[in-house]
Amino acid sequence: MTRGAEVVVIGAGVVGITCALALQGAGCAVTVLDRKGVAAEASAGNAGAFAFADVIPLATPGIMRKAPKWLLDPLGPLSVPPGYAAQIAPWMVRFWRASWRDRYASALAAQAALMRLSAEALDALIVETGARALVRDEGQLQLYEGQRAFEASLPGWETRAAHGVAFRLLDRPEAIAEIQPGLSPRFTHAGFTPGWRNLTDPAHWVAHLADVFRARGGRIEIAEVRALRQEGETVTLDCADRARRADRAVICAGAWSHHLARTLGDRIPLETERGYNTTLPAGAFDLRTHLTFPDHGFVVSRIGQGVRVGGAVELGGLKRPPNWRRAAVLLDKARDFLPGLRAEGGTHWMGFRPSLPDSLPVIGTAPRADRVTYAFGHGHLGLTQSAGTAALVAALVTGAAPRIDLSPYAATRF
């Protein structure tokens, strides 16, 4: 592709803005369209973590033995509202199939490859955009209650080790307290990943990247794209206000992406992980590292000078109203686990994570429109995998060789 090609990126979240920057750097003239604006959805309210250690897909062997117990608890770490169960059943069947050992092994390898690429690309992006002050290198603690829970986690740590993740396993509360004081004594064991990185604030990160993009000549417009079609060498985008045309288009619209893919004839089984959190003001707790409570499905991270408590998965689609009791339950648990936590004055939030049944995103050329590129479905790893995804998208659009095999992320795998 010649330099100066006009590319429209649909979506101004972290994946879309990072892709726009990479395309701009590859010589394209880029416009970003979003129905609400920069970081107006899940990119603003996430935990702010680059979770490169999370190489293990959600659909692990044996997961379906645990799922019924979780699904029966409407406030548990994984839930489906009763009225949504029939609609999500086909997705759950695919999720179950993805947990079989043959497919799990392939998904694990693909996840690890994208994580390695994304970590390398993030380092370059931080330098290129002058964003070092926005990144915290404080590590992460995964915490376990007792010997049995800790031993159950060991295969996961062995898998991380096999994929180059550095960590230390801790079996004494005193060793845990050296990293993070103030935890409940119920947490007797932990795994510490020192290379884990967090942002000072994910909304500020995306805003910074957007500012760099604009300063280099990029445009960001408020526009709701409703459909796409390819006509020869032109892509037409039907928007709420008017039609727009470009040489290429990239779909990075998060949890709404599959609706746009359907207008091109592709039915992609994307579901919505509705995540909840509460952000507490400065002084809520002396948090020194990112805390993960894997058996309870939530995390505690530092956002600005405050603390964000959030996580869990509610597979409930885009239209149901929020169930704020889920955020309250997480906050109650955090009070128990962090006895000194000041839980007053928080702000609740709910966001939509775009999730595919095998935990891998779709990254590649649309099967029926070779001038449209897909880059969506990262689940709770959108921030983590954004820089690597952007490098792959830039290669696809400009005709360069992608740095990893893209077949595991193809839309046709479903």
Burial track 310-327 (b if 16+ CB lie within 10 A, e otherwise): bbbbbbbbeeeeebeebb
Q: In tens digits, what is the pLDDT along the chain, a chain of 414 residues? A: 546 789 999 999 999 999 999 999 999 999 999 999 999 999 999 999 999 999 999 888 887 776 666 666 767 777 888 888 889 999 989 999 999 988 999 999 999 999 999 999 999 999 999 999 999 999 999 999 999 999 999 999 999 999 999 999 999 999 999 999 999 999 999 999 999 999 999 999 999 999 999 999 999 999 999 999 999 999 999 999 999 999 999 999 999 999 999 999 999 999 999 999 999 999 999 999 999 999 998 999 999 999 999 987 888 899 999 999 999 999 999 999 999 999 999 999 999 999 999 999 999 999 999 999 999 999 999 999 999 999 999 999 999 999 999 999 999 999
Confidence (pLDDT) at 408:
97
CATH superfamily of 66-99+134-197+271-355: D-Amino Acid Oxidase, subunit A, domain 2 (3.30.9.10)
Torsion angle, CA of 369/268/299/162, rounded to 10 degrees?
-80
State the angle between helix axes of 14-25 and 382-398 in degrees (0 to 180), rounded to the nearest 10: 30
pTM: 0.96
Bridge partners (DSSP) of residue 7 are: 30, 248
CB 350 within 8 A of CB 313: no
Q: How far is CA 4 from the centre of its chain?
A: 30
Q: How far apart are CA 255 and CA 135, in angstroms?
A: 26
CB 52 within 8 A of CB 387: no
Q: Where does 333-389 show beta strands of DSSP type E? A: 347-355, 362-366, 369-376
Same CATH fold, 66-99+134-197+271-355 and 6-44+203-269+359-413?
no
Confidence (pLDDT) at 83:
84
Rg (CA), the chain: 21
Residues 6+ apart with CB under 8 A from 159: 55, 56, 108
Bridge partners (DSSP) of residue 142 are: 191, 292
Residues 6+ apart with CB under 8 A from 409: 110, 114, 360, 361, 362, 363, 364
What residues does each domain of the chain span?
6-44+203-269+359-413, 66-99+134-197+271-355
Confidence (pLDDT) at 196:
97
Sign of the torsion angle spanned by Cα atoms 262, 44, 329, 59: positive
Q: How far apart are CA 381 and CA 385, in angstroms?
A: 6
The string of DSSP codes covering 58-72 is SS-TTHHHHHHHHHT
Confidence (pLDDT) at 76:
74
3-state secondary structure of 218: coil
Confidence (pLDDT) at 63:
76
Closest of 187, 133, 116 to residue 391, by C-alpha? 116
Burial track 179-211 (b if 16+ CB lie within 10 A, e otherwise): bbeebeeebbbbbbbeebbbbbbbbbbbbbbbe
3-state secondary structure of 168: strand
Closest of 261, 229, 262 to residue 244, by C-alpha? 229
Fold observed for domain 6-44+203-269+359-413: FAD/NAD(P)-binding domain (3.50.50)
Tell me the residue type at 249.
A
Confidence (pLDDT) at 3:
61
